Amino acid sequence: MFTLDATIDAVQNGKKQFVKTFVKNETMAEALNGFIDAQSAYTKSASKATLDATTVVTSELTKLVQEATKFDFAKFGEGVTKAYKTAK
């Protein structure tokens, strides 16, 4: 199944490389890297939840479409015609 983890990791690693290159204060670098790690964990969790919800919704919509295609419109039309004739 497709996940965005590789893309998320690539972006977050780019941020960490930026911090490593330009932030020389060790305390600030640790704080920023901690923030980047928290962003990474949150984003991965959110993308997984979105993928799971999308999978369930797609599955249920597929079931609904399959049920709708099983409907016998000819039989329904006959029933409506009979009901109309008896109502006259």
pLDDT tens, N- to C-terminus, the chain (88 residues): 467 999 999 999 999 999 999 999 999 999 999 999 999 999 999 999 999 999 999 999 999 999 888 877 778 888 888 888 886 6
What pLDDT shows up at residue 2? 61
Phi, then psi, of 35 in degrees rounded to 5: -65, -40
Count structural domains, the chain: 1
Buried b (16+ CB within 10 A) or exposed e, 33-72: beebeeebeebbeeeeeeeeeeeeeeeeeeeeeeeeeeee
What pLDDT shows up at residue 1? 47
Can you give the residue range of the structural domain that contains 60?
A: 5-87
How would you class 86 by CB atoms within 10 Å of its CB: exposed for 0-12, middle for 13-18, buried for 19 or more? exposed
The structure's pTM equals 0.70
Angle at 6 between CA 3 and CA 12, to 5 degrees: 125
